Structure 1
């Protein structure tokens, strides 16, 4: 059954007529969508691609993922109707691997044309060029996604200039650009040199995401992510040790190479008995249901899906200013607070203030991120494919 936020039967027929007109096939067939992925690693970009592939297939499209390698844990989340084609021979991640992946994908689309090509995230932009050079009879309408901030002050003026030049070259072959928040959209338009970008929310939530449970009565602080240095969990443990409230506990969900160092750090700070590292879990929602507060301590992020999940669970958040995207999610005291990167003292003050404040209405917090459900997002992408294909149809 197609969720109500997916395209209607009439809309799907319209997409099919459009696709038929573009590449001259018989009317009434499903829309063909291609996706290029390097592999199915545990990453935000890959998770988004898998979610959208499943949603588009559920909506009646034919979806093919062309990948450098079919390996990776996220492959298990693909629906049975999504076709996966691996490069032969496989193309593992490495020097120039994305360029070679783009060439292999273009060769596949040349033999097996698709109507629209989705390029997920900044990392995959180098694959665009080869498909953009395909003959018009088989060239797909290409939609590239912006998954991270494009303008970063820490780059400095000269490095940012060089970055802009490279991004402009990589995005040249895209027919449309989808950004996860408005500033990234504006930066993409500035870099690409024209108004081509549109804001489409991160599909971080299932359509049937559970409603929030009542706010937890305890003082459990939850964080989640790979246990690597850039996630800032060392800063979080230092901040937790500065709290005056000794009834609070800290749970850091995730796995990674920093696990032993973090356990040792908690012990050295005198909070080892109140810091829990349960390891990797497939779903953090049960931990969020038991939490009073969620903390994102990262040094840098693209678009933090975990903040969306925390707010959908009805939990306020404290986040570092690891990306300009946090301003779109934390915009008042009810949703939480933003602190500088690498400042445990400021983080401790913010956490303490949240623990001392009355619990916000969890349903109001969840309502703020309802637009991140997969149904509306998948539908928005289908409309963007339509617009991109129309532009190509009228300019061919």
Structure 2
């Protein structure tokens, strides 16, 4: 249980919006926030644009759960779900609504127009991405509109606070930095997943099967590493079947088709992390990866790309794990080989800097300030 100080206004009715309930770091973080607020005495309601996905009401309790619709909510065509979402928000009548993750912000913005409910948008990914100039301009304009329409907005990592889309808002006090944190899992005697039982060292990657995660680069690194010693890759995450098949074809073409396994989705990554020899995150972009923090908590050696959100900060420039450019397959392979060797760089006690309690208190202080109309002051924390 995460304890949130009761010195602030109790209770508030807080709606926390997510696009859908598919397994992702954003959804898991918002579920944790809703539960913590409910445990502290607030009337917290997790509102999903769609009930589609891995998680449901049982995962959200003691917070309440409301799904605006049962059908699959696509990232594109978000405005189709706005009427149902608007009805759900009006029925809840929250004091404040917080939108978690980038996918659903436009839907939430449209659904709450004219309702007089203060909004907080949580940005979990950068707006500017390499090789996407036209889409970058659109994202920059969209983020500016959303920030202007919010009571406050939040970014979840220092790398986002420094992003041009948010740095001006940070300076003006309209955007605040609340670093992601997690509740420590502790030591558990969970059985080792069957997919992780192998004499060959296993590298684990966690995340949706999307281009963002750079699985192509990670598979190329696994192929390069296998020229030196046997190594396998297990990927936890759902996604488009055609994209998964393309990744499998790439692995086969590189001669490691039998060394790459797509293991699907789980509600508990810790047994997988504890059984892995290395955790790898090769993303082209991130905000602040929950999976990375969970790997730090599990104590598994880590290899991360320089562009995996705040990985450079989390790993303290290489002190708690190895960091490699995302397009350097040979360099990534060398780092993987180092981490499965006899002297890996381990995360040690780094997770103490990313405590969930501090994050939850910061969110609640922000929400109280928004509801009461007072100047917002979030608790500071050391990094």
TM-score (norm 1): 0.78
Q: Confirm or deny that 1:282 pairs with 2:267.
A: yes
Given that 2:170 and 2:176 are in contact with CA atoms closer than 8 Å, whether structure 1 keeps it comes out as no
Change (3 A) 1:295 1:384: same
- Once the two structures are TM-superposed, the CA of residue 32 in structure 1 deviates from its matched residue by 0.9
Give 2:131's aligned residue.
154
For the residue of structure 2 that corresponds to 1:151, the secondary structure is coil
Partner residue, 1:53: 34
Which residue in the other structure is 2:193 paired with? none
2:177 maps to 1:194? no
What residue is the counterpart of 1:253 in the other structure? Answer: 236
Secondary structure of 1:226's counterpart equals coil
Partner of 1:167: 143
Q: Cα 1:316–1:334, aligned 2, differ >3 Å: closer, same or farther?
A: farther
Equivalent pair of 1:132/1:173 in contact (CA under 8 Å): no
Residue in 1 aligned with 2:318?
333
Give the gaps of 5 or more residues in structure 1.
Answer: 17-29
- For the 8 Å contact 1:189–1:195, the answer to whether it is kept is no
Match of 2:214 among 223, 228, 232: 232
How many residues are matched?
363
Name the structure 2 match of 1:36. Answer: 17
**Structural RMSD (CA):** 3.5
Distance 1:160 1:97, change over 3 A: closer
Using structure 2 for the length normalisation, give the TM-score: 0.80
Which of 276, 287, 291 pairs up with 1:291? 276
Q: CA deviation at 1:388?
A: 1.8
Confirm or deny: 8 A CA contact 1:149 1:323 kept in the other structure: no
Deviations 1:156-213 (A, max 9, x none): 4x6544432221112222111221112313442426883222221224x334443899
Compared CA separation, residues 270 and 376, structure 1 to 2 (3 A): same
The one of 338, 344, 352 equivalent to 1:353 is 338
CA deviations 1:106-138 (Å, max 9, x no partner) are 55544542222111122222223553532xxxx
Mapped partners of 2:209, 2:71: distance in 1: 29
Q: After superposition, what is the alpha-carbon deviation per residue over 1:326-348, rounded to whole angstroms, capped at 9, x for unaligned?
A: 22223233322322223322211
Question: Is 2:126–2:285's contact at 8 Å kept on the other side of the alignment?
Answer: no
Instruction: Measure the CA separation in 1 of the matches of 2:88 and 2:137.
Output: 34
CA distance in 2, matches of 1:354, 1:222: 12
Structure 2: gaps spanning 5 or more residues:
191-198, 377-383
Look at both structures and tell me which one has the larger radius of gyration over its CA atoms: 1
* Aligned match of 1:22: none
SS at match of 2:349: helix
Aligned match for 1:242, one of 204, 224, 238: 224
